[in-house]
Structure 1
């Protein structure tokens, strides 16, 4: 508002300047006070030009028109207030107001201006100011569009970063959860055979060391994206690594893992293979965490079933584990591990299910994955 007031004062001084640089007509001691009323009418409304540009343009044009009734007044070659009002109207007002203003000014220039060349110069001046106003409006629209695009890009980057953080958290959960579960399971099994079967004790320690090395290697791969990218990354897990994965989970006399495959194997996208591996890994981790043998060893069956649509992965055990069924997104009270399985399957366009095993014994985790990422 202060800027508009300052601009109005500058316009008023410009319109009053001819009264200082010129002298009254012969026979007049000074300028008539009434001559200043049109000057005020053509300048004071400039203060409100942003709020009501059309009304301000009409008012300033009316002031300029009233000045024609004072032929003895100081010459006013340019009506700055009306030009500012037209500029603002061209930049801000709706189309119908702009068209009305152009017609009004055009007819006024033709009817009120005596000489044709003077009318032509006036029309050229007004059209130029109008064009400048439209250019200013276009620039403002472009600036607003660029700002909106920048906001969209910023939101997209934030979403991408959030998704990447979630992916890294999920990977770390799977890697650490499985590695720690295997090490704990083998550490618990080792003392049982101390003094009775040194080979099994040695195998338990070897399994602990192997699980630790594997976890460290996979953590380096996961965290490599957070570094400078110069470290060599471990390849993403594939189905070819399932035999080693199942062997690392076995605990002689406690957990026996059987891997079976049915159907015609085919090449899967890397994301689908990694998801299948992680789902099996998380299923085995759940067995290590929750399965409790009723009598004897817990049997775990890892089944890969190839179908025309893709691959079905199933991990079942006959221990006494968690109860409750679930599917889809990991709802119904599912823990982080089951939620991660559902999210991995959904990311590939598949679906995960879990619940009690056959006959209500044990636990079952199953995921259907497509042959191609959807």
Structure 2
């Protein structure tokens, strides 16, 4: 308890220190030729100190000339300097300025009492200097130091002249409270600025994560689909050719075409990352109008694909809906190629005024491998979210499809059906999808 009471006074008198000066407003800076940028606050302090020095010295000289107890002129110069010097120090070292005032105050009061006739013994310069120093301490120092300075000032005023204690207390209290209020407001503003900075950093980091997730979905869909088709074609072409160079050449040309198509889509996805000027890629994104390409690739890979596609006004679909629908069908066919080679796949697309519906279902396939991708991963390994061991990535297919549907405010369900079959059912809202795009 005693330590808690004594600690503020120790901080005020010799242990504590003031905070560094706050950043200056540009309005308080002046650019001068041959000098550069000049801070107006220290200059104003020096000007005020010179004014106080001149008026105090002049008043002391007048008093000394008529006083019966004459003081030596060096003491008068010292007193004038002791009153003006803390004003020049208060901006850079406010607490040191107050301590210097308290150290020199006995000499100053002794000289004033010796030559002056005023009662109480407070000159105008002293009445201006001390509140300014107290204000600076309250603005730049801890609350405990401010309280200790106020208490010491109150006790000093009571010792010097009890009759003027109330006036001294009011002046010092107003200066301390005003400075403390400014300090609180500055700290609140600084905390708010720091919170805003952290919020901007968090929003920026979130935007980066969302963009990375979007690019990852696009890359996964492009690479997984085309590489699956290419891998199956590369395995099937030698068997189909059976040594016939013409068939072999045709199969390799088809693989080459699929590779070029995959490269083109990858360039389209990565175009914005390669653009140093930050421009986005303006190439059209795939939509349901390119569904025939997916079906052709899947049939070439050995799937039997049937499509129920009503007369949809593709051009009226928002780009985000068309792209998501295309990628969902693409990933579903890629899963069927990997996990159900030779399967029969039914693609059903429906639309009403508000939603676009997709259903992609397969019968599980009839290859000797028992409905698995190349015999390396069990049926549904990618589909139930667990990482497959074979070709086709690290189990991100269903995750990416669900994310696409969720970003549009839709739903996607994937589940086994029938005897080894699998289906994906998605509902994509059309209204409001333009904003998502």
TM-score by length of 2: 0.60
Q: CA deviation at 1:307?
A: 3.2
CA distance in 1, matches of 2:382, 2:310: 25
Distance 1:230 1:244, change over 3 A: same
Tell me which moved more, 225-234 or 56-65.
225-234
Tell me which moved more, 196-205 or 221-230.
196-205
Q: Which residue in 2 is equivalent to 1:256? A: 304
Work out whether 1:352 is the aligned partner of 2:412: yes
Contact kept, 8 Å, 1:316 with 1:365, in 2: the verdict is: yes
Q: Which residue in 1 is equivalent to 2:212? A: 165
Q: Which residue in 1 is equivalent to 2:328? A: 279
Work out whether 1:143 is the aligned partner of 2:203: no
Match of 2:317, SS state, is coil
CA distance in 2, matches of 1:350, 1:15: 78
CA distance in 2, matches of 1:241, 1:234: 14
Q: Which residue in 2 is equivalent to 1:342? A: 402
Q: CA deviation at 1:317?
A: 1.6
Q: Deviations over 1:132-159 (max 9, x none)?
A: 5433432332222112101100111011
Distance 1:199 1:356, change over 3 A: farther
Q: Which residue in 2 is equivalent to 1:11? A: 101
Q: Which residue in 1 is equivalent to 2:159? A: 66
Q: Which residue in 2 is equivalent to 1:367? A: 426
Match of 1:51, SS state, is helix
Q: CA deviation at 1:236?
A: 1.3
CA distance in 2, matches of 1:310, 1:222: 26
CA distance in 2, matches of 1:142, 1:165: 34
Q: Which residue in 2 is equivalent to 1:178? A: 225
Work out whether 1:206 is the aligned partner of 2:265: no
CA distance in 1, matches of 2:234, 2:358: 29
Match of 1:3, SS state, is coil
Matches within 5 A, 1:87-106: none
Matches within 5 A, 1:260-339: 260-262=308-310, 265=313, 267-292=316-341, 297-318=342-363, 319=365, 320-321=371-372, 335-339=395-399
Match of 2:17, SS state, is helix
Contact kept, 8 Å, 1:315 with 1:365, in 2: the verdict is: yes
Contact kept, 8 Å, 2:339 with 2:380, in 1: the verdict is: no
Contact kept, 8 Å, 1:174 with 1:278, in 2: the verdict is: yes
State which of 283, 294, 300 in structure 2 corresponds to 1:234.
283
Match of 1:250, SS state, is helix
Contact kept, 8 Å, 1:350 with 1:369, in 2: the verdict is: yes
CA distance in 2, matches of 1:161, 1:49: 40
RMSD (CA atoms): 3.8
CA distance in 1, matches of 2:310, 2:360: 14
Q: Which residue in 2 is equivalent to 1:153? A: 200
Match of 2:257, SS state, is helix
Count of equivalent residues: 304
Match of 2:143, SS state, is coil
Q: CA deviation at 1:239?
A: 0.9
CA distance in 1, matches of 2:112, 2:421: 106
Match of 2:300, SS state, is coil
Contact kept, 8 Å, 1:183 with 1:208, in 2: the verdict is: yes
Contact kept, 8 Å, 1:351 with 1:369, in 2: the verdict is: yes
CA distance in 1, matches of 2:195, 2:189: 10
Q: Deviations over 1:320-370 (max 9, x none)?
A: 35656999xx7688931111111111111111111223x233221221111
Contact kept, 8 Å, 2:272 with 2:279, in 1: the verdict is: no
Contact kept, 8 Å, 2:355 with 2:430, in 1: the verdict is: yes
Q: Which residue in 1 is equivalent to 2:143? A: 50
Mind listing any 5+ residue stretches in structure 2 that lack a counterpart?
1-14, 19-94, 117-133, 366-370, 373-377, 389-394
Match of 1:280, SS state, is helix
